[in-house]
Structure 1
Amino acid sequence: MDDLDREILAVLQEEGRISLTDLASRVGLTLSPTHRRVRDLERGGAILGYRAVIDPVPLGLGFEALVFVTMRQEDRETLMAFEAAVRDVPNVLQAQRLFGDPDYLLRVRTADLDAYAQLEDDVLSTLPGVQRLNSTLVMKNLVTDRPYPTRPR
């Protein structure tokens, strides 16, 4: 990946709907090589997809919790079952497996505290292998969906 690819990625992270013509102009290339580079970045997996960034509040999802999950056992079968099950919970926006304790971190959105309590009681606590859930309620988001730095430090 060269400097032009990094510049293309930086622009696309900020303006995912920019036209190829405008993108070419911004990075100082003509249309054809810009299109080729974008296609190569997509095929190579640097660009995973495109989406709109949505405010969750108008969707009725104004409550956010971070859920730390400790597993009862950590054999492969249990972990794979948990991971498959958590992928099917639509209110889980992000799920990460961690080193150490706890084992997983989930970012969850619901309508309110009552809806979260019901989700925890009826769904999250019943996922395969779960021993303990520890929730932290999000007071305020300071940084969300920040673009990745295209020049690693």
Structure 2
Amino acid sequence: MYIRKRDAIDRNLIAALEEDARISTSELARKLGVARSTVNERIARLEREGVIMGYSAIVRPELDVQETRTMLFITCNRAHWSRIVSTLESYPEIHECVTVSGNYSLMCTVRTPCAEDLDALVEEVAAIPGITTIDTMVVLASKFARNATISAPQPAPRLQLAS
């Protein structure tokens, strides 16, 4: 599937949705200076292309049910890379898995109901063939969090109508 390069309207649309996924298409159209049908078409295309993967509620961590949030720093054999990542993806407690530079291969963001569940998860993950080491860092407190944007919003080009 051909995925076209993002223009200013796409980037601004994505940034607006990251800021408030519940914003109406009418409000998006007003903010972006385009027709509501354009917003609907763009959102549908971005969803089709997999750029917009879904919409979710962002829960304030300190008000959420008690849970243990942890970062797993994993070193693994790159020959088993895709199988390891696929296996990690099967754990619902693992919310994100990213490649990192430095001494580790992967970093996973984990949420478990309690430390005992975290311990059991770490034991299971450590047993995955190809994983050589796991270091864990438990999150003590969240000082702030923000949604990442793909790029800073940019003004959409305005068409000049001929007089």
Please tell me the TM-score bracket, short chain as reference. 0.7 to 0.9
When structure 1 is superposed on structure 2, of 55-64 and 94-103 the one drifting more is 55-64
On the 8 A contact 2:19/2:147 being kept in 1, the answer is no
1:16-42 deviations in Å (ceiling 9; x for gaps): 122212221222223222222323333
2:73 maps to a residue whose letter is F
Normalising by structure 1, report the TM-score: 0.80
Is 1:151 the counterpart of 2:161 in the alignment? no
C-alpha separation between the residues in 1 aligned to 2:143 and 2:85?
Answer: 28
5+ residue gaps in structure 2?
Answer: 1-5, 154-163
C-alpha separation between the residues in 2 aligned to 1:98 and 1:147?
Answer: 17
Correspondence 1:4-15 to 2 at 5 A: 4-15=9-20
Correspondence 1:22-33 to 2 at 5 A: 22-33=27-38
Report how many residues are paired: 148
- 1:86: how far off? 0.5
1:142 maps to a residue whose letter is K
Aligned-partner SS, 2:71: strand
- 1:60: how far off? 4.3
Normalising by structure 2, report the TM-score: 0.76
C-alpha separation between the residues in 1 aligned to 2:125 and 2:60?
Answer: 24
C-alpha separation between the residues in 2 aligned to 1:27 and 1:67?
Answer: 40
- 1:103: how far off? 1.4
Gap change, CA 1:149 and 1:131, over 3 Å in 2:
closer
On the 8 A contact 2:16/2:28 being kept in 1, the answer is yes
On the 8 A contact 1:94/1:107 being kept in 2, the answer is yes
Aligned partner of 2:70 in structure 1 is 65
CA RMSD, aligned part only? 2.4
- 1:68: how far off? 0.9
Give runs of ≥4 in structure 1 deviating > 4 Å. Answer: 55-61
Is 1:138 the counterpart of 2:142 in the alignment? no
Aligned partner of 1:79 among 72, 78, 81 = 81
Correspondence 1:38-57 to 2 at 5 A: 38-55=43-60
C-alpha separation between the residues in 1 aligned to 2:90 and 2:100?
Answer: 20
1:109 maps to a residue whose letter is R
5+ residue gaps in structure 1?
Answer: none
